Amino acid sequence: AQSVTQLGSHVSVSEGALVLLRCNYSSSVPPYLFWYVQYPNQGLQLLLKYTSAATLVKGINGFEAEFKKSETSFHLTKPSAHMSDAAEYFCAVSLPSGNTPLVFGKGTRLSVIA
Partner 1 sequence: DAGVIQSPRHEVTEMGQEVTLRCKPISGHNSLFWYRQTMMRGLELLIYFNNNVPIDDSGMPEDRFSAKMPNASFSTLKIQPSEPRDSAVYFCASSFPPDRDSSIGETQYFGPGTRLLVL
Stretch that binds partner 1, among 20-28, 38-46, 65-73, 78-86 (CB under 8 A): 38-46
- Report the alpha-carbon distance of residue 100 to residue 65 in Å, rounded: 22
Q: How far is CA 20 from CA 7, 29, 96, 101, in A?
A: 10, 26, 25, 26
44 binds partner 1 (CB under 8 A): yes
Taking CB under 8 A as the criterion, the residue among 2, 27, 73, 94 binding partner 1 is 94
106 binds partner 1 (CB under 8 A): yes
CB 78 within 8 A of CB 62: yes
Q: Which residues of the shown chain bind partner 1 in the complex (CB under 8 A)? A: 32, 34, 36, 41-46, 49, 51, 90, 94, 97-99, 101-107
